[in-house]
Structure 1
Amino acid sequence: MHPDFTPSASGPIRDPRILSVIERMNASRNRPPRDGLGPDQGSTRDPQDFAEFGFSIHPDQGDLIYLLCRGMGARRVVDFATSVGMSAIYFAAAIRDNGGGQMIGAELVASKVEVARRNLTDAGLAEYADIRVGDARETLRDLGGPVDFALIDGWPLPEGPSLARQVIEIVAPQLRIGGYILNDNAEPDFLDYIRDPANGFISVTLPIKRGTELALKVAEPAKAA
């Protein structure tokens, strides 16, 4: 296992079945060569070209998701993008331990959805997950009710608004006051949105991975004059 992705022995999840799946997934992490995915190269690539690579959150981010969801009693959460299901497992574990609910995932690459569903099944969490295949800008338009927590960790685009910015504009109106947004990639236009007081959020950058933005919805957006 790569030392950067070793789960903490003191982490909040105690279920050995879940932990064994997380450990297996961390041990089998694979990424493209450094010159094959980056701010310049990767942003111009089709995500289908990377179907064999499982891009996943850091274990510290997973522990944070689990703890916050447990603490707030989360019952409806959003996982964008699901990839092979690492973040989905942390979400679904919290949902289960809160007494039930639904993790709504969004993933464009169908083969990754198949892997994610197998991983959730292996962890005993499949019944808590609804992974929607396709463009998140369409699949997340109706989340079925107020959302407690959302992870926004999408694929970079070559130009124009980032997917993170486009998805936050879809998800934010469905997020309840007191709900959280966690962002992994610190896209500048996402940060512009989340840090604009008119949009109803306060946020902090956490020293996890390359910088993880955690935002709390404290008000509904201000109406334009």
Structure 2
Amino acid sequence: MPEHLNAPAVAQSPITDPRICAVIDRLQATRARPPAGSMNKEAGFNAEDFADYGFSIHPEQGDLIYLLCRGMKATRVVDFATSVGMSALYFAAAMRDNGGGQVIGSELVASKAAVAQKNLTEAGLAEFVDIRVGDARETLKDAGGPIDFALIDGWPLAEGPTLARQVIELIAPQLRVGGYVLNDNAEPDFLDYIRDPQNGFISVTLPIKRGTELALKIR
């Protein structure tokens, strides 16, 4: 077999707009994680303490979001949590390329929301995004209409139900049949909900990042 047939394929994003790609590339190149041990569940979490860290999806997850949103002609999507805007860039690119739509972002830390807004403006996509600053359990109570796609990638809690579980319970009634939910962190109680047939979803675990759960609402 020719050697070139055994070579791994070079990843190529479906997004080709140079303005958007430049912002995504910069965010990816400057991605940073907090020091080991700084996120100690026993000590509890304060999101403001990590305002300088952009906890974001990876480009391969973003490419999937973009493709699915384009394929389903999505016009109303939810981005939780927006952080510094990486996921919002992919969502907003799909809304623009679909001919219009709205990304409803939710971000607890105001300084991160400001950075996300700046990144979206730099990419030429700010008009497609409404970033709501505050607790997602309040900001996402009403998305203003049926949701086509939701990303659930929220801040960890020290105890009790995870935010992912609480937000999916809030989002599920607003999600249209045929809509998608993408979850980044595979929280056990989120998976319990999404895999319970009574809740109207089917899902699959994708080999992306540490394990990305993609769910489809079927009723």
TM-score if structure 1 supplies the norm length? 0.91
The aligned length equals 210
Displacement of 1:37 in angstroms is 2.7
Alignment counterpart, residue 21 of structure 1, candidates 16, 23, 28: 23
Distance in 2 (CA, whole Å) between partners of 1:32 and 1:158 is 17
Q: The residue matched to 1:19 in structure 2 has which SS?
A: helix
Paired position in structure 2 for 1:120:
120
SS of match in other structure, 1:138: helix
Equivalence for 1:32:
34
For the residues of structure 1 that align with 2:165 and 2:12, how far apart are their CA atoms? Answer: 34
Report the equivalent of 2:188. Answer: 188
1:86 aligns with 2:75: no
- Deviations along 1:20-76, whole A, 9 cap, x unmatched? 0100111111110122236x46x8211111011111101110000000000000000
Aligned partner of 1:101 in structure 2 is: 101
Runs of 4+ in 1 over 3 A off after TM superposition: none
Which amino acid in the other structure matches residue 183 of structure 2? N
Q: Match for residue 44 of structure 1? A: 44
Deviations 1:121-160 (A, max 9, x none): 0000000000000000000001000000000000110110
Question: Any unmatched runs of 5+ in structure 1?
Answer: 1-7, 220-225
Q: Secondary structure in 2 aligned to 1:36?
A: coil
2:5 corresponds to: none
Corresponding letter in the other structure for 1:115: V
AA paired with 2:23? V
In 1, Cα distance between the equivalents of 2:29 and 2:186? 26
User: Is 1:57–2:57 an aligned residue pair?
Assistant: yes
Q: In the aligned structure 1, how far is the partner of 2:36 from the partner of 2:182?
A: 25
Alignment correspondent of 1:68? 68
Provide the rounded CA distance (Å) in 2 between the counterparts of 1:193 and 1:117.
32
- The more displaced of 25-34 and 75-84 is 25-34
> 1:159-200 CA deviation, whole Å, 9 max, x = no partner?
100000000000000000000000000111000000000000
Q: Give the Å deviation of 1:10.
A: 1.7
Kindly state the Cα deviation for residue 11 of structure 1 after the two structures are TM-superposed. Answer: 1.2
Residue among 10, 13, 17 paired with 2:12: 10
- Secondary structure (helix, strand or coil) at the match of 2:164 reads helix
What letter is aligned with 1:10? Q
Provide the residue aligned with 2:4 in structure 1.
none
1:22 corresponds to which letter in structure 2? I
Specify the code of the residue in structure 1 equivalent to 2:112.
K
Provide the C-alpha distance between the structure 1 equivalents of 2:81 and 2:139, rounded to a whole number of angstroms.
Answer: 12
CA RMSD of aligned residues (A): 1.1
**Structure 2 residues without counterparts, runs of 5 or longer:** 1-9
Alpha-carbon distance in structure 2 between the residues aligned to 1:83 and 1:23: 16
